[in-house]
Amino acid sequence: MNFDKEKQDRPRMPEWIRVKPFTGHGRNNVSEILDKYKLNTVCTSAKCPNLGECWNKKTATFMILGGTCTRNCRFCSVNYGVPGPLDPKESENVARAAKEMGLKYVVVTSVTRDDLPDGGASVFAETIMKIREFSSGDIKVEVLTPDFKCNLNSLKAVLAANPSVFNHNIETVKRLSKEIRITASYENSLFVLTKASEIAEGKIPVKSGLMVGVGETDDEIVQCISDLRSAGVSMLTIGQYLPPKKESWPLDRYVPPVKFEEWKDYAESLGFFNVASAPLVRSSYCAEDLSRSRVNHKTLS
């Protein structure tokens, strides 16, 4: 693929994808707490377009296992390289930050750590337990994990900590997965999601997400949605891909809101009980709302 040509031919951003800036006390408060505990968030690392809105609402998606990923996926802006040692206080600091932010629903994701024997699964489990230990009341914890190189012991360790939702993103359609995700694969993601569903035995909802506009066809999206449902996934997010930097995988198209609505309707017809499908939807955007009941996707566009 000719990246230079793709950059020149990038479609003009439509009105429905424009993001309104958010400032104020809520955003500043979140920033101060994250700095205090020296925590990473996927909000900043992945250059999420919804950062201002979410931080203004005093929510954030914590990114554990450091800030450097061992994989270099072409759609992602997270730092890639050789990670440093784990911070032994990271799980506790996430728990303290969640408490200070007054969160009732916490989303925890991570960089991929292929250098660790368990891929960081034990840290996920510890973080879940610490959050519950430090926060009173019925706090819920959603995890968004890497594939752990299909290590079932790692998967079992995370699920044994009883997260409120288990999420692993398939990211894109089968044909493009190898090119865009490089180390990760479509088949491995389906394996992880299938096994998570089997291990959870319906007690923990299994969630996944994909981005569109990277060169897939509409038929391929439909097939991907079907594959996810067959794997036991019951919660789904679909959002517009926006290249985070010049070197990223090029944008192929801006998908109109009506198409997201069609995919939502199709997913629900297959039995997905919670679907968020709209241009600015991201894996953890409005995660608490999505976990409670069906989200009106029009409010997320």
Neighbours of 274 (CB within 10 A): 20
Q: Output the six-digit token pair for 77.
A: 């802006």
Are residues 50 and 19 in contact, defined by beta-carbon separation less than 8 angstroms? yes
* pLDDT band at residue 294 using 50, 70 and 90 as cut-offs: very low
pTM above 0.85, yes or no: yes
Domain that holds residue 279: 3-300
* pLDDT band at residue 19 using 50, 70 and 90 as cut-offs: low
Q: Closest Cα partner for 109 from 78, 150, 82, 133?
A: 78
Percent residues over pLDDT 70 in the chain: 81
Alpha-carbon span 292 to 284, nearest angstrom: 13
Look at residue 46 in the predicted model and tell me its pLDDT. Answer: 45
Domain count across the chain: 1
Largest Cα span, the chain: 54
Tens-digit pLDDT profile for residues 205-234: 999 999 999 999 999 999 999 999 999 999
What's the rounded mean pLDDT across residues 82-99? 95
Q: Closest Cα partner for 175 from 164, 167, 186?
A: 186
- Which range is least confidently modeled, 25-34, 99-108, 194-203, 287-296? 287-296
Tens-digit pLDDT profile for residues 55-69: 455 566 899 999 999
Tens-digit pLDDT profile for residues 159-190: 999 999 999 999 999 999 999 998 999 999 99
CATH code: domain of residue 32: 3.20.20.70
Look at residue 26 in the predicted model and tell me its pLDDT. Answer: 52
Alpha-carbon span 118 to 98, nearest angstrom: 25
Determine the length of the chain: 301
